[in-house]
Amino acid sequence: MTSNNDVESLMLPNGVRTKIMATLAPPPVSDRLDSSGNVRRSHMDLTGGREGILHYLPWWCFQKKFVHEDVEKLYQEYYHKQKQRDTVWVFVAAAIFTAYALCLQCISDLSLSDWTDKRIALVLCCLVNVVAVLFFLFLELKISEAVWAIVPFVAWAMFYAQVFLDAVFDDRITNWTDALGWTLVLVYVIYVLLPLRMYSCIVLSLITSLTHIVLIAIDLPSSSLILQVIANSLLLVGANLMGAMSHVFTDKKHRKSYLETRTAMRVKLELEERTREQERLLLSVLPEHVAEQIRNDIGEVVDGQFKKIYMSRHENVSILFADIVGFTAISSTYSAADLVQILNELFARFDKLAEKFHQLRIKILGDCYYCISGAPQERSDHAVLCVHMGLSMVDAIKYVREKTKSPVDMRVGIHTGAVLAGIFGQRQWQFDVYSKDVELANKMESGGKPGRVHISEKTFAYLRGEFEVEPGDGSSRDETIKSSGLKTYFIVKILKPYPNGTLDIGSGQNADNVLEETRTAEEIATKEDTKMLEDAKHSEENYRKRLFQEQEMRGKKRHLYQTCNPVTLRFKQKQMEDEYNSQMANPVDEATASAPIVNLLGTLAHMLVLPRTVASYLTLCFGNILILVLSLISISPAFPKRIPQSVTQLGKNINESFVKRHLWIFLIVVILVLVNVLNMVLCESSYSDHQVLSINASAADVTTTVKRVSSELCANPQYFTSYSVLVLLAITVLLHVSYLMKLGLVAAITVLQTYANVVCLTVPFAVSDLTGFGPQMTSAISRKYSLSAMLGSIGLALLFINRHMEAATRLLFKWKKEVEEQKGQVDQVMHKTVTLVYNILPQHVANIFLKTNMRHDELYSQSYTEVGVLFASMPNFSDFYTEESVNNQGLECLRFLNEVISDFDALLKEERFFDIIKIKTTGATYMAASGLNDNVTLQGDGSIRERWAHLDRLTQFALALKDTLQKLNAESFNNFILRMGINHGPIIAGVIGARKPHYDMWGNTVNVASRMESTGKAGCIQVVEETANILKEFGYEFEQRGMVQVKGKGHLMTYYLIGRNQRSPSTSTK
């Protein structure tokens, strides 16, 4: 397709975004078919369609417009803007004409006595043209639209006034006949270069043509009036047709360019939106410095022995853990949607508090929320901010307590120390922190009390008397705290209200947001969406402005010259030049229709004013037939149902080949020129059969003789030059022909016609000079020279026009390549976005976020009745982990942990584990689940083996984890052991926060699975009795452990998995 010049404010509400994107992009194919299967018109369609060449003929151009009025209006503004740049070439052509006319005036009369009446006007006109060219071409002055409304008419009037002045100042009797060549060019220029609609072009060209005809009628003697008026009219009709065809082809080209510009705008909109979405999703779970590293590394190949780890160490960091006390009890009494809504409301408040108190949210573990302060940006007030955060969280839980009518509360623990922060593994990335101090902070929470903020003595040392505290006696409630020898405290009250005692004092950063944390998630969403709506109010108005900015940027030829040779206009890269030539190879070349039109009108004009002999008739007829056949072959692919397939295939082969197309056009032009040359030879020979006229005879004698044999003598040789002008215009119409070839053809025709005028048509022009100049013949320039000079000047003007038209075409191609590159960028960004989303959320959940723009009140939640949950941890990793200089303060230990988790993640790529989903990792604990794949459905209730096949695969996955860890132990000479727990049953899964998505699951099934791991034995997989009974159906063997105390569930009978009977059938395939 969108400025995109870059487009801003793209995160728009769905309604506004949909409306804009619908305007930018065409509707899908299904929406473009009616009930009968026929193509329905869309706002991108054009009215007045016809099959074949009729689709492009000028008389249908009035109906060529987009069906949708707004789209057509935008296009017309775009087209007008593009054509404004063409106006400069009108003045260039006018300047060339004025220079030609001035030179003729000076040469015809070398005296300076006539400057006041003949030359001053032309000099002034020439100066005006030069100033106009400089004004438009170099100064690039801004011109208002009101001025532009009259500029085209002024340009036309100035050009025609110069042609008129030249004819008026000419002393010849047939001055207006000689002005026919430049009049033909002016008519053509009106259609091609002026920024006007077709009807305006037709009006101006008719005024120009009719004025010329009227002046001829006044100027010419009555004896030759009618025939020459008709002949000139035919040639003017030809120029009008050439101009109209060029106008239609140019309009078609610009409509295509317009759609490509709109596509580019849409692509940029999508690119920026996807980029923002990628950024938002990354920053929702990862800090900016880590996200930047990951984004740069996506798709890169990592060399080395170890997989890349994104981890960094931070000193003097305060770590906060907060747990909802009593949440497990209420999770079983609410539906999935309600439970996720409650958590979303609560954690949305926590996120706003974290933003206020400069906390970096690490992750959400079920109903546990933890964050840090002082990293990655160091802050001296990190401990004070953490305590304010904890106290505010205790206040915020009142919302849940009131909504659920249950005695839930917050238990908060804070400790200060060093952390290693980063991500582990290759899937389901979640930012985490790891260190001995993090473990202590966790124990500060579990060893605290509901409704209180429990801090360590290290945190207390950074509070600087900002809070009143009392002894916390955490060692009496937790063995880890006791063994560490830490003193603990409870916060009693705030002595210095926030922001006093922090770096925020005096900044005013949060002065107006004291009540912000009391807003609900819905209110937060409403506020954000209201802001987006305000930002989007002018989006549709800005779209037009952005589109024009895009066009302005693209319309500069200097951008073309960066990739093209400024002389030949060939692209510097051969591949790009080949692609351009290939693009120009259209199956149908309608422009070749200009050749038979030119030849037919030239033939009719010849029959009126040139010798009517049998030889001339045969030449003209044969030439018309031959040119018609060649042109029809080029056009034949437009009529596949009416012309034999062999002919249409020949036309396609010619048009689609760069070499064949140019040779074909060259052959057509050669025939056009050859017909004209043969007729010039016949014109010269027409005098040999009649009385030989003496060149030195008196003008009266010559005139009398010419009148007597005018029907057989070549009395109007100037029409050969006029015909050549029409041929040059026909060459200009050929948009699919190289500018260099046009240059060669124009130069060749000009030289050939000049040679014919000077050498071959000596006698006819001598007679024409005597009849045209009369008594002034001795002081005038012969018409064979003046007409040759006219043709040369016209060729020069058309050279500039042809070069300009090819530059515009190549610029369009360059735009197309840019659009394709932008589409490629979109594909890359979308690929990265999908990769990131799949590494943040499970695939079945990520698909929902990729298909829709979710808002805070459009949360994802789902209840599952039969899910398997696995927890696997390395209990002896804590013994392996040390924070000494020899292992880079613990970083090398975590590097090994990253290898373990990455290899665990690699197992998920195996087909046998297709429905196992990694939920998260917490330190050295790995959590996975099965039965969450919505694509796997069962017929009816199903047997146990059918319903719980995924639990079998989850168990196989647990055994594969053991094997993987053993291989790593063997390679690294370590002795790590997995302790695992598996449980099955109903769970509630969902995403907390659509703007900051975090996927998790809740319920007794999850809690029991976690307890099976934490109360189990290293190297074993522990399950409850119900899970063991199901797995026995799959051939697994167990040994009874006995009754185990499980928090919240009492005593449960548990079993250790021994192994599996090898004769049992596998369920590891889909």
CA dist 490 and 817 (Å) reads 66
CA dist 90 and 157 (Å) reads 11
Helix (H) or strand (E) holding 385: helix 382-396
Tokens 């159906």, located at residue: 1033
Task: Spell out where 424-495 has E strands.
Answer: 432-434, 453-456, 467-471, 488-494
The tokens describing 235, both together, are: 């040639």
* Cβ burial 651-664 (10 Å sphere, 16+ → b, else e): bbebbbeeeebbeb
CA dist 389 and 400 (Å) reads 17
Long-range contacts of residues 881-885, Cβ cutoff 8 Å, at least 24 apart:
881/434, 881/436, 883/418, 883/435, 883/436
CA angle 1062, 1066, 1069 (to 5 degrees): 150
Among the options 86, 166, 351, 367, which is catalytic?
367
CA dihedral sign of residues 89, 92, 94, 100: negative
- Residue-level length of the chain: 1070
Long-range contacts of residues 793-796, Cβ cutoff 8 Å, at least 24 apart:
793/96, 793/97, 793/99, 793/100, 794/181, 794/182, 794/185, 794/725, 794/728, 795/728, 795/746, 795/747, 795/749, 795/750, 796/96
Active site residue 367: yes
The tokens describing 874, both together, are: 């390395």
Closest CA to 231 of 523, 610, 753, 547: 610
Active site residue 578: no
Active site residue 437: no
CA dist 705 and 328 (Å) reads 121
At residue 829, what is the residue type? V
The tokens describing 662, both together, are: 């140019």
Among the options 216, 324, 801, 977, which is catalytic?
324
The tokens describing 257, both together, are: 């360019």
- State the SS3 of 100-136: HHHHHHHHHCCCCCCHHHHHHHHHHHHHHHHHHHHHH
The tokens describing 564, both together, are: 């093209």
Among the options 86, 251, 323, 437, which is catalytic?
323
Residue 329 region by backbone torsions, left for phi larger than 0, else alpha for psi between -120 and 50, else beta: alpha
Task: Spell out where 658-728 has E strands.
Answer: none
What is the tally of helices (H) and strands (E) in the chain?
38, 16
Helix (H) or strand (E) holding 759: none
Catalytic residue numbers? 323-324, 367
